[in-house]
């Protein structure tokens, strides 16, 4: 075989796995052991001491996640929120963080409620506007936290421009890549320092595991601090969840491309529907950041939002009528979900009251469309 770099779809299946020489088993085992045998001379030459620090199943997962993002190291966490928390804990009291203004509400909650008690300051900024980000930098700013595309309005940030600006000022850049997944966007290639994932979403893909990850390149200066927070803080995933996620990663490419293709089809049909006011999907030509999205995320994402003509009651009525789309929060699973987003985000959210968010699963797209059409008929009348 030639030594050309392997395609991510291939890495997703092979990286971090090998056939067990003792048994010939093709799928990796789940190493549930919390502790590992010392060598007779007291060393740990086989590499593992205690599972909070490292575990063979977690190591396989981390190796695969690092390869998918083109990073040098991945650290797996018990949830996306634990990953976010651990990255923010790398900072010090008095530091300041700039954060995408419509970032995930849990990220905003951590900054607003938990980290203010540590004197970690933050400001929300429209990260789709690089000049606005530059203008918001303060003397004590240490980190720019970007979520792109954002959620639910799907704003797309210019990652290369933001990382150039941050580098020239010695700031750390983070991109929450949960919505795009490495299939559509690899932030490290655009100069971003850290990629954060809620692997609960598209990476897990089946709504049956909680997980998070942080991936960085070779030059990340706080790598040791972050590792210490992971192993001493202990917010690590169980071996079973690591194994389940590794299993799910094998099908990541086919899943998210199919989900995104259906999201594009549904955006086109929704945009034509008389009960719909506006559609938010980065691949929709009417989207504010469509040109940038074509560069950064060809394919888009399996998430889409739209506003109905009418108020929040109208939106809630539509949400109450779907049969295939299940009402629920979260995203990225094989089953489609529908949600009135303002209800879950609460005060401080910039989400319009008449907005409905859809997470597109793997059901046949015409079945999904028929379900939306019958639900929307209540809003057309
Ligand atoms: C869900 C989500 C998170 C938080 O992840 P959990 O696994 O629920 O803790 C963070 N960022 C984004 C973009 C998310 O969608």
Query: Which of 178, 328, 337 is the pocket-test mutation for ligand 1 (most atoms within 8 Å of CB)?
Result: 178
Q: Is the pLDDT at 1 greater than 80, yes or no? A: no
Considering only CA atoms, which residue is closest to atom 12 of ligand 1?
104
Torsions phi, psi for 165 (to 5 deg): -65, -45
Active site residue 52: yes
Active site residue 158: no
Peptide bond into 149 cis (omega under 30): yes
> DSSP character for 35?
B
Could you give the CA distance from residue 47 to residue 61 in angstroms, rounded to a whole number?
Answer: 16
Instruction: List residues near ligand 1 (CB under 6 A).
Output: 79-81, 104, 106, 147, 151, 176, 178-179, 198, 200-201, 210, 212
- Closest approach atom of ligand 1 to CA 103: 13
Query: Which of 108, 200, 210 is the pocket-test mutation for ligand 1 (most atoms within 8 Å of CB)?
Result: 200
User: Could you report the per-residue pLDDT of 138-186, keeping only the tens digit for each?
Assistant: 999 999 999 999 988 899 999 999 999 999 999 999 999 999 999 999 9
| pLDDT at residue 277, rounded to an integer | 97
Could you give the CA distance from residue 362 to residue 148 in angstroms, rounded to a whole number?
Answer: 23
What is the number of residues in the chain?
381
Ligand 1 center from residue 80 Cα (angstroms): 5
- Closest approach atom of ligand 1 to CA 210: 7
Active site residue 296: no
Six-digit token string for 287: 């989207």
Could you give the CA distance from residue 170 to residue 80 in angstroms, rounded to a whole number?
Answer: 26
> DSSP character for 118?
G
Residues 6+ apart with CB under 8 A from 291: none
User: Could you report the per-residue pLDDT of 325-364, keeping only the tens digit for each?
Assistant: 999 999 999 999 999 988 887 777 778 999 999 999 999 9
Find the catalytic residue in 95, 101, 102, 104.
104
Give me the DSSP letters along 291-310.
Answer: HHHHHH-TT--SEEEEEESS
Torsions phi, psi for 223 (to 5 deg): -55, -40
Ligand 1 center from residue 116 Cα (angstroms): 20
The mean pLDDT value for 71-95 works out to 98
| pLDDT at residue 165, rounded to an integer | 98
Query: Which of 85, 104, 248, 329 is the pocket-test mutation for ligand 1 (most atoms within 8 Å of CB)?
Result: 104
Active site residue 313: no
User: Could you report the per-residue pLDDT of 44-60, keeping only the tens digit for each?
Assistant: 999 999 999 999 999 99
Q: What share of the chain in percent tops pLDDT 70?
A: 99
> Does the predicted model carry a pTM greater than 0.85?
yes
| pLDDT at residue 349, rounded to an integer | 75
């Amino acid at each position: 075989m030639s030594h050309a770099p392997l395609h991510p779809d291939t890495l997703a299946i092979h990286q971090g796995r090998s056939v067990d020489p003792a048994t010939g088993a093709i799928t990796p085992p789940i190493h549930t052991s919390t502790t590992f045998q010392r060598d007779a001379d007291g060393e740990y030459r086989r590499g593992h001491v205690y599972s909070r620090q490292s575990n063979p199943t977690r190591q396989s997962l981390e190796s695969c996640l690092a390869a998918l993002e083109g990073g040098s190291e991945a650290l797996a966490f018990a949830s996306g929120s634990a990953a976010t928390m651990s990255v923010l804990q790398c900072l010090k009291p008095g530091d300041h963080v700039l954060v995408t203004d419509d970032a995930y509400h849990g990220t905003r909650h951590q900054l607003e409620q938990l980290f203010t008690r540590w004197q970690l300051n933050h400001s929300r900024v429209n990260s789709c506007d690089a000049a606005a980000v530059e203008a918001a930098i303060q003397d004590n700013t240490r980190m720019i936290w970007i979520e792109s595309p954002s959620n639910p309005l799907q704003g797309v940030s210019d990652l290369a421009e933001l990382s150039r600006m941050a580098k020239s000022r010695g700031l750390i850049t983070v991109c929450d890549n949960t919505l795009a997944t490495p299939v559509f966007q690899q932030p490290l290639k655009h100069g971003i320092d850290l990629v954060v994932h809620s692997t609960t979403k598209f990476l897990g893909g089946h709504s049956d595991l909680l997980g998070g990850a942080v991936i960085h390149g070779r030059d990340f200066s706080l790598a040791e601090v972050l590792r210490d927070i992971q192993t001493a803080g202990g917010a690590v995933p169980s071996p079973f969840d690591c194994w389940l996620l590794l299993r799910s990663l094998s099908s990541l490419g086919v899943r998210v491309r199919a989900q995104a293709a259906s999201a594009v089809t549904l955006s086109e049909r929704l945009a034509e529907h008389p009960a719909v006011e506006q559609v938010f999907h980065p691949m929709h030509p009417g989207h504010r950041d469509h040109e940038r999205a074509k560069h950064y995320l060809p394919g888009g994402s399996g998430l889409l939002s739209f506003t109905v003509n009418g108020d929040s009651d109208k939106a809630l009525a539509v949400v109450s009528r779907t049969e295939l789309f299940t009402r629920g929060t979260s995203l990225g699973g094989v089953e489609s979900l529908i949600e009135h987003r303002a209800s879950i985000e609460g005060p401080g959210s910039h989400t319009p009251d008449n907005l409905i968010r859809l997470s597109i699963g793997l059901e046949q797209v015409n079945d999904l469309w028929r379900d939306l059409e019958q639900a929307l008929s209540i809003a057309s009348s």
